[in-house]
Structure 1
């Protein structure tokens, strides 16, 4: 029973994180336009591409590893921090910064909607 409450609390926390991150990402996309739009679409969809690749048995282990790596929140945070200091103007950094925001939003929504922190059951389960 306790693990269910803890899981619910963690999922709620991720939902609380997702809302302002999505709002800020939308603000950046609308403000800067240009390359922020296609990069935001890529950031929203790319973390789940290993699901598609994981269908083939020969690629399953690599796809699982890629899926776990692309759903690690530290990577988009590193992208956001890097692009916070990159470029002479905000317009130079906006596409990469927005990419990191949308990627982080993807992870936050995924973790808010997924009851288990594991993305795919281990082989043999």
Structure 2
């Protein structure tokens, strides 16, 4: 099993921002991290997007939070894959596909307006088409 010291080093941190902006970005990073964790358990709520946004905000406001995300056993690989050319693992692609399919089925059997169901399904299909065209990380 790889240790955190085996992980590649985190990218260079950007320049220091004014304190109020750093606090806003820290709050944004925290909210995105919470939504990303919730997305692990809730179908239809994306994990990867929120973790990427949390890492972006943390890189500009909290080096400690960014390092923690970068070396995290669940979130670190997706951040490192994305930093390495926007790669997405096959497992992540299949997970997203299954969760979006489940979300679509749930939507079909709700009382939501048909136009909203169709629009949501079209959006998910577009995201999946984009996602499956992303490179996969080298093994």
The TM-score, its normalising length taken from structure 1, stands at 0.39
Higher RCO, 1 or 2 (CA under 8 Å, sep at least 6)?
Answer: 1
Q: Relative to total residues, which structure has the larger helix share, 1 or 2?
A: 1
The TM-score, its normalising length taken from structure 2, stands at 0.36
